[in-house]
Amino acid sequence: RFNLSQQQVLELTQQAAKLWEQETGQQNFIYDPQAEFSINLIFDERQQRSTDRLQGLDQLKQQQQQWEMQNQQLQQVKEEIQRTTALIASKQAQLNLQFQQYNTEVLRFNQTRSNSKDLAQQFSQRQKALEQQSLVLQREVQEHNQRTQQLNQRIQNLNQNNQQLVASASQFNQVFQPHLFH
């Protein structure tokens, strides 16, 4: 139940014997496989508690590693969304500028009272192209907003996982509080 091999037990007993030798200045123990003296290891509630503590600690470490991986992934998604936000803002600014230029040119065209059908047709085609660009940009904005909502949901889940991890660590610390060992 200690999960120790015979060789490990032998090494541990030799380490203990050296401690005795250092303190007493005498060699008190010598390993002899034929000797009648035996060492009996007793697996009691203290050892079980120690085993449970190590298992609990391993579980906490695994949960923490999972949380850190998720957090790192979310940070990457967040950075991507920030880049996309900047790109969309740039596209919106460019499109607004194109609309302003178009409106200015249409206003000039109307003020000159020109009857040029070619120019009017060019304006119509340009207006359709700008409207098409606007629709494409609106779709990009909608997709971006969806990704942002998904990120916010994932962040909320990560925060809940963090709260659970903190609660688990607190419970672990309560269960395995240090106490005097007799």
The reported pTM is 0.69
Say if CB 10 and CB 31 are below 8 A apart: yes
Distance CA 137, CA 130 (A): 10
pLDDT tens digits for range 70-121: 999 999 999 999 999 999 999 999 999 999 999 999 998 888 877 788 888 8
What is the model's pLDDT at position 182?
A: 60
The dihedral through the CA atoms of 37, 41, 46, 50 has a sign that is positive
149-152-153 Cα angle (round to 5)? 90
Say if residue 181's pLDDT is above 70: no
Largest CA distance in the chain: 120
Helix extents (H) in 25-116: 45-111
CA dist 124 to 26, 54, 128, Å?
106, 75, 6
Residue 112 has a pLDDT of 84
Average pLDDT of the residues in 24-41: 88
- Residue pair 172/77 in contact (Cβ under 8 Å)? The answer is no
Contact criterion met (CB below 8 Å) for 101 and 182: no
pLDDT category of residue 177 using cuts at 50, 70 and 90: confident
**What pLDDT digit, counting tens, does each position of 121-161 carry?**
899 999 999 999 999 999 999 999 999 999 999 999 999 99
